[in-house]
């Protein structure tokens, strides 16, 4: 099964993407995580991406399209869940052509939404494991031991782009470039829209209902 989750920053794409991909035994392809790994490893793509990411801007399309294509091809047998790609209409068109070229398609396309006030609370409290990338929240889902990942014991940190000023820029970019994906996808087969403002388990149940339909 191949899925796409899209929606604003902080809506829970990563949180739910990890859980849903585990349930369905498919690969979780999170564009932000793939880019952060490339930055950490100092690859050519990572070096190109870093400045855009720190400023909350979109990394150029040619960089992200080739990175995601490589991962999709690696995981085409097991199936995959796309999180954070595409993020504008040009990327959505590139994805459509790429999937056609490889004889693949998306079974479900889910738009997740929540009020901006909730997104701000989620982003400003987010802490992430440096080693495995698992996400926690200072108030909503704190780790058992402060600063330490429950899953792998790694160190937890706050993302550079989760500073208040950068969050505002990311939300602006979302409204300008990513929200228009709604008109691109809403008439397509497999499209669903869910209210992701509830508790994590509630949101997961909604997503499971969509994919089991
Ligand atoms: P990326 O890492 O994809 O960031 P994002 O889309 O801004 O999304 P987030 O990771 O911030 O939010 P999320 O929806 O995954 O929320 P999460 O589950 O963590 O991208 C970062 C940057 O990379 C971009 O700004 C851009 O520069 C670049 N980039 C990435 N993709 C690109 C592309 N395609 N093209 C160009 N550039 C690209 O949840 C947030 C917090 O809330 C967590 O702490 C979590 O624990 C908590 N939480 C989640 N759900 C709930 C809930 N139901 N109740 C309470 N708390 C919750």
Check pocket membership of 10 for ligand 1, CB cut-off 6 A: yes
Could you read off the pLDDT of 100-142 as tens digits, one per residue? 999 999 999 999 999 999 999 999 999 999 988 889 999 999 9
Atom of ligand 1 nearest to the CA of 128: 44
Percent of the chain with pLDDT over 90: 94
Residue 141 has which token pair?
């889902």
- The 10s digit of each residue's pLDDT in 134-188 is 899 999 999 999 999 999 999 999 998 998 889 999 999 999 999 999 999 999 9
Q: How far is the CA of 31 from the centre of ligand 1 (A)?
A: 10
Residue 5 beta carbon below 6 angstroms from any ligand 1 atom = no
Q: 87 C-alpha vs ligand 1 centroid, how far in Å?
A: 12
Helical residues (DSSP H) of the chain, grouped into ranges? 13-24, 31-41, 44-54, 61-74, 89-101, 116-124, 164-173, 181-185, 200-212
- Specify the pLDDT at position 133: 86
Beta 27-30 vs 2-6: how paired, if at all?
Answer: unpaired
Pick the CATH number of 2-115+172-212 from 3.40.50.1820, 2.60.40.420, 3.40.50.300, 1.20.1090.10: 3.40.50.300
- Residue 171: the pLDDT is 96
How many Å lie between the centroid of ligand 1 and the Cα of residue 105? 24
């Amino acid at each position: 099964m191949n899925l796409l989750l899209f929606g604003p920053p902080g809506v829970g794409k990563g949180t739910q993407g990890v859980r849903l991909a585990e349930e369905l035994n498919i690969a979780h392809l999170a564009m932000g995580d793939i880019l952060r790994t490339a930055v950490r490893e100092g690859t050519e793509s990572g070096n190109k991406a870093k400045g855009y990411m720190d400023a909350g801007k979109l990394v150029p399309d040619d960089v992200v399209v080739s990175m995601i294509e490589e991962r999709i091809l690696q995981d085409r047998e097991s199936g995959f869940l796309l999180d954070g790609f595409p993020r504008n209409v040009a990327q959505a068109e590139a994805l459509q052509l790429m999937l056609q070229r490889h004889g693949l398609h998306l079974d479900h396309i889910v738009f997740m939404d929540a009020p901006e006030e909730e997104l701000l609370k989620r982003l400003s409290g987010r802490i992430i494991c440096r080693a495995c990338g698992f996400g926690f929240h200072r108030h909503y889902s704190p780790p058992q031991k402060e600063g330490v990942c429950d899953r792998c014991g790694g160190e937890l940190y706050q993302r550079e782009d989760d500073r208040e000023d950068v969050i505002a820029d990311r939300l602006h970019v979302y409204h300008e470039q990513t929200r228009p994906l709604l008109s691109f996808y809403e008439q397509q087969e497999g499209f669903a829209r869910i209210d992701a403002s509830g508790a994590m388990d509630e949101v997961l149940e909604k997503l499971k209902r969509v994919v089991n339909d």
